[in-house]
Amino acid sequence: MNSPFHTVTQDIENANGWQQKYRQIMLLGKKLPVMPDVLKVDDALVKGCESKVWLYIDFDHSENSLVLAGDSDTRIVKGLLALILALYNGLTPEQATQINAYNEFERLGLISHLSPSRGNGIKAMVDKIQTMAQEKR
Amino acid sequence: MFDFETIRADFPLLTQTVNEYPLVYLDSAATSQKPLSVIKALESYYSAENANVHRGRHFLSEHATRRYEDTRTAIAEYFNVQRTEIVWTKGATESLNLIANGLTSHLKSGDKIAISAIEHHANIVPWQELAKKVNAELIILPITADLVLDSNECAAFIREHKPSVVAVTHASNTLGNITDLEPIITACKEVNATSVIDGAQAAMHLRPDLNKLDCDFYVFSAHKMLGPTGLGGLYGRYSRLNTLDVYQTGGEMIETVSLTHSTFRDAPGKFEAGTPHIAGVIAFAEAIAYLTALDFNGMRQHEHTIFNYAIKQLSTIAGITIYSHKENNIGNISFNYRDEHPFDLATLLDGYGIAVRSGHHCTQPIMSKLGIPGTVRASFALYNSLDDVDAFIKALKHCIELLD
């Protein structure tokens, strides 16, 4: 297992205690490439979040792959977003539908962040990506 | 006298641990915790007393009806008003909707409705909708630079603009800032404006004497006064209350019904359509009894001590901005750390078992005024201790280290 996701999650898995886990997540967010302002349109805004979260999804027909970019005005959500991008970016729709973000977040001890009551939009982002993947299969 | 240790022990939820830390509950502005007597009353109602009110002639129904109506008397006594001037609703939000809707036929095109920029959305949106419906104009009352209603300016504004309705908060949910209502209500009476006070935050902390306050309407939520969720109510000066248009229609609220015409009961009955939240009302009696048995001055003194200590401790942390008024306050502190997002701070605080709220707190106009996306809000109540403040400040310092 040497996917981009498993490379970025190693530090989270090795983190000692929840504080270090959060620190690693926030560091991941910091390393996320800047999302160009032109992509931060209303359509890309994930609804129902306390923080502002943008998720831009496109489909590269020539490569048959998902193209994702995102940003958030909070550090923690931005870090979680970086994890999701690492999970799905560049995958074919077929591959994307086989990835269960819940299982991955569970493994990292982050499942509470996927609960709908959290208001952070992580669940909405995963749903949005899965819908796109299903459509393009 | 106010015996803090005994009081704290009456709230079973507060003894739990969260993420292996003792829970520090600083979200009482969202909902207060409940004393054991309220929890037991809910259980006892469903295990031994459950019956519908106002209908059956059987023992249980008569018992439930008596207890339901006794609570109306108890809350009327708490506010020093008449029992027929209390209407049960599902919360302060529904109370405000009931009043705004009930004033529809009383307003005409071109009338003015005055609200302020520090109101909860529940005291903004129903008035916007009413204004749309009757083509009235919404006007905004003046506030001071430190986000308190400027009472004397408000009174002058009311005398000048002569609105038909003035709807203001007794204390801001986001900031805790207390409104000096007397000059505002006096001005309302002079211009014959209907005064509507949002008491959701203040009803427990300030125990207002509504007879003395002399407003036309005052709304409250039971769950912010140690009572069950899903219950609230309103006080309405009887002459004004009884002339409001009915809000919901159906069973219970009618006098006679034929297939083409119905007549309604007098207030408060005509505003309580359908089966009410009987269990909630009966259990709320225990919350009122609990609050009334407390030494009010002792409680306020305790709340002041906790609040002042929290303000003092927060002020020692470099980079903290406090938005709340530091003296004139029911016990809610809104703050931020540098330009960190409140969501991050609240999430990290949760890791330490500290329950605070983050976001715009349903007061987006305040956030626009401050030019921030939201705040972290720590809100205190009678069952909070100085130790709670210490745990909160210690955790906050750790969170800041994580962010820096």
The per-residue pLDDT for range B293-330, each reduced to its tens digit, is 999 999 999 999 999 999 999 999 999 999 999 999 99
Q: Is the peptide bond prior to B268 cis by the omega test (within 30 degrees of 0)?
A: yes
**How many Cα atoms sit within 13 Å of B337 on the Cβ side?**
24
**Res A3 pLDDT > 80:** no
Whether B287 and B304 share a structural domain? no
Catalytic option among B154, B188, B215, B362? B362
How many DSSP H helices and E strands does chain A contain? 6, 2
Q: Same domain for B15 and B108? A: no
What confidence score (pLDDT) does residue A86 get?
92
Domain span holding position A66: 4-136
How many domains are contained in chain A? 1
Give me the pLDDT at residue A114, please: 62
Do both B157 and B202 map to the same domain?
Answer: yes
Least confident of A22-26, A99-103, B279-283, B400-404: A99-103
The single-letter code of the amino acid at B187 is: A
CA distance A69 to chain B (A): 21
pLDDT grade for A12, boundaries at 50, 70 and 90: confident
Tell whether B358 is covered by a domain.
yes
The answer to whether position B32 is within a domain reads no
Structure tokens at B34: 């409940």
Where helices occur in B197-317 by DSSP H, the ranges are 202-206, 210-213, 238-241, 278-293, 296-315
Nearest to B85 by CA among B236, B269, B276, B264: B236
In Å, how far is A92's CA from the nearest CA of chain B? 33
Q: Based on the domain organization, do B202 and B346 belong to the same domain?
A: no
| Whole-number Å distance between alpha carbons of B376 and B314 | 12
- Residue numbers in B near A18 (CB within 8 A): 19, 351
Its domain, for residue B253, covers 51-292
Average pLDDT over every residue of B191-196: 98
The verdict on B201 and B74 lying in the same domain is: yes
Chain A residues touching B343 at Cβ < 8 A:
50-51, 74, 76-77, 120
- pLDDT confidence band for B355 (50 / 70 / 90): very high
- What is the helix (H) or strand (E) element at residue B400, kind and residue range? helix B386-403
Predicted pLDDT at B46: 96
pLDDT at A93: 93
Q: Element (H or E) spanning B126, and its range?
A: helix B125-134
Out of B237, B264, B292, a domain closes at B292
**Which positions of A are catalytic?**
49
pLDDT over 90 for what percent of chain A?
41
CB B315, CB B361: distance < 8 Å: no
Kindly state the average pLDDT of the residues A86-115: 86
- How many C-alpha atoms does A52 have within 13 Å on its Cβ side? 11
CB atoms A22 and B19 under 8 Å: no
Number of domains making up chain B: 2
Where among B238, B266, B292 does a domain terminate? Answer: B292
pTM value > 0.90: yes
**pLDDT greater than 60 at residue A1:** no
Residue B245 lies in a domain: yes
Percent of residues, chain B, with pLDDT higher than 70 = 100
pLDDT at B373 over 70: yes
CATH number at residue B236: 3.40.640.10
Within this chain, do residues B274 and B196 fall inside the same structural domain, yes or no?
yes
Whether residue B13 is contained in a domain is answered as yes
pLDDT digit string, tens, across residues B50-102: 999 987 789 999 999 999 999 999 999 999 999 999 999 999 999 999 999 99
Cα torsion B288, B291, B297, B303 to 10°: value is -120
Averaged pLDDT, B127-141: 98
Instruction: Report ipTM for this prediction.
Output: 0.88
The band of A2, judged by pLDDT with boundaries at 50, 70 and 90, is low
Contact between A19 and B341 using a beta-carbon 8 Å cutoff: no
Contacts of A121 in chain B (CB under 8 A): none
Q: What 3-state DSSP class applies to B205?
A: helix
Encoded tokens for B356:
């605070």
Task: Give per-residue burial for B168-185: e unless 16+ CB within 10 Å, then b.
Answer: bbbbbbbbbbbbebebbb
Q: What is the CATH number of the domain that holds A59?
A: 3.90.1010.10
Q: Please, which pLDDT band fits residue A60 given cuts at 50, 70 and 90?
A: very high
Burial class (CB in 10 A: 0-12, 13-18, 19+), B316: exposed
Q: Give the model's pLDDT for residue A125.
A: 86
pLDDT digits (tens, 9 = 90+) for B205-248: 999 999 999 999 999 999 999 999 999 999 999 999 999 999 99
Q: Quick check: is B210 in a domain?
A: yes
B35 within a domain of the structure (yes/no): no
Question: Among B20, B336, B341, B375, which would you mutate to test the A interface (most chain A Cβ atoms within 10 Å of its Cβ)?
Answer: B341
B340 vs A26: CB contact, 8 Å cut-off?
A: no
Is residue B399 flagged as an active site residue?
A: no
**CA B136/CA B239 separation, integer angstroms:** 23
pLDDT bin (cut points 50, 70, 90) of residue A104 is: confident
Task: Quickly state the pLDDT bin for A116 (edges 50, 70, 90).
Answer: low
Q: How many residues does chain A have?
A: 137
B182 falls in which pLDDT band (50, 70, 90)?
Answer: very high
